[in-house]
Chain A
């Protein structure tokens, strides 16, 4: 078979997958709203958001998906676990109540009992607030978390064999999967860690490698149709950026803190003004990491979904073909963005570690610039 016909085959597979993704969106949406009108924003938010079931595809009224376990913790009831199938309702206007819990129109679990509410960082503006209510912590294995576990399994299945290759072929040339990942690991060491951190880079390598491959693998998993938008979730990017912040703070040298608290090389009267600026800088750096990864990945998903949504807005096959071609091109671009964002996150983390651990000479030179 020529590569050309293989390419056509691949394109047709992509087309089919993309179209089925769109059809599924339409089906779920019409079930949700109860009429034939297509609501693109709810379709997009449904896809980039989290859910208690992992929905793969729908054929008419048949839904293929996985009900994920619900895990709730409250001080009065302890840990409660049950399958989400107990809460699933086929009629959106008549939600099922189970053990005092039900779902709202976003598919989120809410409490039906007075004096109990699900804990959240942002209060639902529609819900009635009760003072002193028992907080129920929802630590269910959602679609995002299940996807994250899957990525962890993949990470282990990939890198533990890679590592064993170094033991098996000590000092010899890499082979198989080892030779695919070795250049990437060497790149992270020689092009990201060493130029930015210097001699102390070995200490930060495990974190940088973990962050890089965690983000990259999850970005790629998110691009698979039906996959979760994990790295486009603010909680995930917040957590990753938070680890970078913690490591930066705890590896900060004396010079680093002196530089922040009493910036050298500027007039005395400016120093108290610089202090809050520098303190904000400590937080703004990881904040930018968090927003950059979240926004890039979410935006990519939104663009692809919007392009596919056009088909259902115009209800035209011609638009469908064009939208599929465009979204395929976007998907290819997203494959690159998946790698690029992993690289950018790792590079910037390395730069922050480098600034924190820099020696006096370096700091001093910076002060004069």
Chain B
């Protein structure tokens, strides 16, 4: 029976000691421990969520960058293509224009050649006509004197005319 009968002295000291321990440890141990634990857990959780956020942001930025790059590439391709078509059309235009112009110039040259030719011919005709007249006149004048003189005269006239 002694084993299961609480001893007064022990009960007294146990109540006193336990309350003291409870008070002292609550104030100087459990409170800082629990708050320290909570603080650390919160800071870890915050750090984790921030890291996750940063990761998401990075992923977003990367996607944006890629989109921009793709757009830029597309634009460049488009510009290149445009430039190519423009240059081709320019060349073609130039060619066409040059062709046309040269044709005009050739035509003009031909015309001029024709006119100069015609003018030259006309002049030649006129000259021939006048020279023939002159020859005929001189021949007629000296026709009666001598045959030798006639021939000499003709030779003279011709050489004079060639000197002219």
Contact = CB atoms under 8 A, between A and B. Distances in A.
Same complex origin of A and B: yes
Interface of A: 45, 48-50, 71, 106, 119-122, 137-142, 144-145, 148-149, 152, 155-156, 159-160, 162-167, 170-172, 182, 185-186, 189, 202, 205-207, 209-210, 214, 233-236, 238-240, 243, 294, 298
A292 B71 CA distance: 77
Contact of B6 (A71, A121, A185): A121
Which secondary structure dominates chain B's binding surface?
helix
Interface stretch (B12-20, B53-61, B100-108): B12-20
Interface in B1-57: 1-15, 17-18, 20-22, 24-26, 28-37, 39-40, 43
A104 B6 CA distance: 18
Nearest to B27: A206
Contacts of B11: 235, 238-239
A343 to B, nearest CB: 18
A171 B9 contact: no
B110 to A, nearest CB: 100
Interface centre among B1, B9, B28, B37 (most CB of A within 10 A): B9
A166 B6 CA distance: 40
B9 A139 contact: yes
A144 B40 contact: no
Contacts of B36: 163, 165-167, 170
B10 A142 contact: yes
Contacts of A172: 40
A122 B20 CA distance: 28
B39 A144 contact: no
15 contacts: A49-B2, A122-B1, A142-B10, A145-B14, A152-B17, A159-B33, A162-B33, A163-B32, A170-B40, A171-B40, A189-B37, A205-B30, A206-B30, A233-B10, A234-B3
A166 B14 contact: no
B43 A121 contact: no
Chain B interface size, as a band, is 35 or more
A145 B3 contact: no
Contacts of A122: 1-2, 5
A159 to B, nearest CB: 4
A233 B5 CA distance: 9
Given A167-B32, A186-B37, A209-B25, 8 more contacts: A138-B8, A139-B13, A156-B24, A163-B29, A165-B36, A172-B40, A202-B34, A235-B10
Contact of A144 (B10, B29, B34, B43): B10
B39 A170 contact: yes
Contacts of A243: 18
B37 A121 contact: no
A119 B25 contact: no
Contacts of B9: 71, 137-140, 142, 145
B28 A163 contact: yes
A129 B48 CA distance: 73
A170 B38 CA distance: 11
A149 B10 CA distance: 12
Contacts of A121: 5-6, 8
Given A49-B2, A159-B29, A166-B32, A235 B43 contact: no
A289 to B, nearest CB: 14
B32 to A, nearest CB: 4
Contacts of B40: 166, 170-172
A59 to B, nearest CB: 30
Interface centre among A48, A106, A243, A298 (most CB of B within 10 A): A243
A171 B7 contact: no
A236 B10 CA distance: 7
B17 A149 contact: yes
Contacts of B22: 206-207, 210
A180 to B, nearest CB: 13
A185 B35 CA distance: 12
A190 to B, nearest CB: 10
A170 B3 CA distance: 48
A141 B9 CA distance: 8
Contacts of B31: 163, 206
